[in-house]
Chains A and B, each alone.
Chain A
Amino acid sequence: MRIASLIRWIVFALAAFILNFPVIATLITSFKSNAEISRNPGLCIREPTLANYATVFDPAGRFDVWQFLGNSLTAALIGTILPIALCFPAAWAMARRGVGMNVLFPAAVNLRALPLIVFAIPLYLMYQTLGLLDTKLGLGLILAVVNIPIALLILTNTVRELPYELEEAARMDGASMATLLFRIVLPMCRPAIVTVFIFGFITAWNEFLFGLMLTTRDAVPITVGASFFFASGGGGVQWGVAAAIIMVSAAPPVLLGLVMYRHIGGSMTGGAVKG
């Protein structure tokens, strides 16, 4: 039994290492000088340096990374808060009164399963007409669409499981719809809203396809901006700098996810299993 358990731990460590290998390798490379990368491409490191990160954030550098980060933050916040605001009242109407359960609910939730590229081209043409191309608002709006399915699903499930008595009592006391929703139901939904927010923020931050198609210069998010570093602008790719920009781009969702992972454990699976 002892040996079986030991083997299990070894397999676990091995699996954890293999699954996270690209992240580990990139993290280590980001602390190496270019000279060391070409001399010593392995996982050990002789002279760790922060020079790559300094280059990434150098204000005189090729790209304005702070702007990429700011764009990602703004677009991801729009893409996270808007779906919650839109879905919360609808989720209540769906859970408590069965409104839209035949068409609206399945249509919105099944958006999760549609290939996003289907909407990308007409959106591009529409945005061009409306002047939303290459704007943070335009990117944020489509990220909101991406997050609507999970927001609606989680909020509807949550409202459905709230005790009904409180709402009934409030209704008896003559509370208005707004009071009922925002003073009574909303506070009880707070944990679910935190979950939707964290999960939605990670999804929006990590989105790539719409950033690639709908932005060119002013509203480029960090995922797309990071890929710019791999297009060699005269000379080859600077691998240390490229590794550093990947880590900068991946850090916010990873930190958020690790700190709050209890919150998102269930929603990571897209509400596929309740609980």
Chain B
Amino acid sequence: MSLSQRSENAILTAPLVLFLLALLGFPTVLDVIYSLSDVSFETLRAPTFTGLDNFRAVLADPDFWQATWFSLKFAVLTSVAECVLGLALAIYFSPILRRAPWMLAILIMPMIIAPAMMGLMYRLVLHEFIGPLPNYLYNWFGVSYGFLTAQNVFKTIFVIETLQWTPFALLLFHMAYESIPEDIREAASVDGTRGWRLLTRIELPLMLPTLGVALFIRFIDGFRVFDNIWTLTGTGPGGSTTSLSIYIYVAFFRSGEIGQAIAASMILFAAAFLVLFVAARRGRGKETA
């Protein structure tokens, strides 16, 4: 490569690199410094070095482990539910969507709504006095169900998250299903492979990579969940809906435990990095963003 081409390449990529370094690189350095220090809002300029104390404090905090367990459980359950539902609906609805493609827009509308707004909408929808859902449940079935009580709140936010993001999985599987070449189906039908057999033996195996991608994306988004839970329940009754993101936010803003909040976010960063690294190793060449 010639010298001029090299300097050209540098000029072309420099704006992006510098921007990322300024907005993410510098904060990451700050992260490392503060995570190893005793620091409060008053002593931001003069943190005292305390080694791994913050990390020890986080790892000894039962709330941290409860939040981690919450996020993990939430991410696994929602990503699986979304993918199963999305896959089933994409295949079942394919005759409709083939005839009227614009119908897809109706199904994917929840994805365009801000998750924070979704949380606020459910405050209204589930309200015990003025909410339409409790109202119908009581009038038609005589049931009063406390959607947001400590006992039921996890089920409720699980359903809310699943309803908002099943369309994402549906869209992915719809595109994967429609991109299966028609001659494969024709060849199978000549061999007498139709219906259920065609689906399980030929079509589903062809969609397997998409399933991996969909599960992966929904898992990460579920794991870092914040907006919809925060606007609906906050930390929840007895801290029952504190996801890891909410744990870090609360430690920083409400409790002012800066060092501990940053230490927790560094642990989260390391975990995410590890997951990405493993995923990249396993799925080289695949687009997973």
Contacts and interface: CB of A to CB of B under 8 A. Distances in A.
B112 A246 contact: no
Given A8-B95, A12-B96, A227-B231, A26 B163 contact: no
Contacts of B130: 29, 37-38, 41, 239
Contact of A177 (B8, B19, B112): B8
A122 B109 contact: no
Interface residues of A, number: 100
A192 to B, nearest CB: 15
Nearest to A255: B112
Given A86-B16, A117-B268, A274-B287, A8 B92 contact: yes
Given A115-B224, A261-B105, A268 B289 contact: no
B213 interface: yes
B261 interface: yes
B150 interface: no
Contact of B30 (A11, A111, A125): A125
A51 interface: no
A18 B17 CA distance: 44
Nearest to A145: B23
B28 interface: yes
Interface string B4-30: 010011011101110110011011101
A133 interface: no
Contact of A41 (B89, B129, B214, B258): B129
B112 A142 contact: no
Nearest to B127: A239
Interface string A225-245: 011001000000001001100
B253 A213 contact: yes
Question: Which 3 A-B residue pairings sit nearest by Cβ, starting from the closest?
Answer: A122-B27, A206-B114, A115-B224
Interface of B: 5, 8-9, 11-13, 15-17, 19-20, 23-24, 26-28, 30-31, 34, 44, 89, 92-93, 95-96, 102-118, 120-125, 127, 129-133, 135-136, 163, 166-168, 171-172, 175-176, 179, 210, 213-214, 217, 220, 223-224, 226-227, 230-231, 244-245, 248-249, 252-253, 258, 261-262, 265-266, 268-269, 272-273, 275-276, 280, 287-289
12 contacts: A8-B92, A11-B92, A23-B110, A42-B136, A87-B16, A110-B280, A119-B24, A152-B16, A208-B116, A208-B231, A209-B226, A254-B109
